[in-house]
Amino acid sequence: MLCEILLRLPPQPSSLLRASAVCEHWRGLITEPRFLRRFRAHQGKPPLLGVFEARSHGINFRSILDPPDRIPPERFDVQRQIGRRTGIRLLGCRHGRVLLLDLKRHKLIVCDPITSEHQCFTPPPVFRGLSIYGAVLCAAADQGHVHGSCHSSSFKVVLISLGGDGDEDEYNNTTPIACVYLLETGVWGNIIAAADQCELADSNPGILVGNVLYWSSKSVSNTTIFIQDPPAIFRGGDGRAGSSRCHSHSRGSGDGSTGSGGGAFRLPQS
């Protein structure tokens, strides 16, 4: 009976902490992994704790909760967690992880602010320079999986850039290109490119709507770049993400017509 009552506590960070201070019996019950799994499953999607912001002096966490649930910025100091490196750019944050770009070492870093764990890997050579945009997403495709407590789940990274900055010269500097990295295979998929050119907005973390990632463009044609990312990504025999189809789109005009200038990257389902 007590367990069923505790499962119905509010999902705010202070709820379980306060309950665990009642007595040793409650604390032992609340800290059991089985109870925590049931608590997360019962609560559903966890509350938004805050946002990460790129400032001139570094990357800051800003809690959006009121006391006593407000989290101090130093608790989620991702730059401290990766060793106070300089030249770090914030690419995005989603599903409990933060995606960073180490400009000096040309490395991507995926951080878990709650566990303080991080992983580094190298992007494909064609993705160089400041014109890199990216997103990190939970790769769990389990039925009923709730994003937000994905610390033990695999992840995938989607990179998008304007070609021509790397060692390969088959893309010009206004052609959007994209690539997907899967942690479980440890390899990048094939590079996919849009048929048309565009210019991406400078501050552009990407927006996830359903299973589609959007990046806004500042082109005169008012285009958007989007990547459709199904729950299961097709894998080739070599473990890479399978071949992908590219499309070009712009936001339609008032009469429903569709012009060119943006890119749509569609990842095939398995």
One-character DSSP codes across 96-154: TEEEEEETTTTEEEEEETTTTEEEEEPPPTT--SS-EEEEEEE----TT--TT--TTS-
249 and 125 within one domain: yes
More confident residue, 97 or 166: 97
**What pLDDT shows up at residue 212?**
76
86 and 21 within one domain: no
111 and 86 within one domain: yes
Comparing C-alpha atoms, which of 20, 75, 24, 27 is closest to residue 49? 75
Is residue 220 a contact partner of residue 246, using CB atoms and an 8 Å limit?
Answer: no
209 and 108 within one domain: yes
88 and 35 within one domain: no
61 and 12 within one domain: no
Question: Looking at the predicted structure, is the pLDDT value of residue 161 above 90?
Answer: no
Question: Looking at the predicted structure, is the pLDDT value of residue 170 above 90?
Answer: no
Domain that includes residue 8, residue range:
1-44
38 and 172 within one domain: no
Residue given tokens 């933060």 in the structure block: 98
102 and 40 within one domain: no
- At 240-269, the pLDDT tens digits run 443 344 444 444 322 222 233 333 444 333
184 and 60 within one domain: yes
CA 80 to chain centre: 20
More confident residue, 175 or 252: 175
Structure tokens at 17: 């902490």
3-state secondary structure of 252: coil
The tally of domains found in the chain comes to: 2
Is residue 266 a contact partner of residue 245, using CB atoms and an 8 Å limit?
Answer: yes
260 and 167 within one domain: yes
- Give the range among 82-96, 119-133, 154-168 with minimum mean pLDDT: 154-168
146 and 105 within one domain: yes
Beta strands in the chain (DSSP E): 50-55, 58-63, 88-94, 97-102, 107-112, 117-121, 132-138, 155-162, 176-182, 187-188, 192-193, 207-209, 212-216, 224-228, 245-247, 264-266
**What pLDDT shows up at residue 204?**
65
2 and 68 within one domain: no
Of 27, 44, 61, the domain-final residue: 44
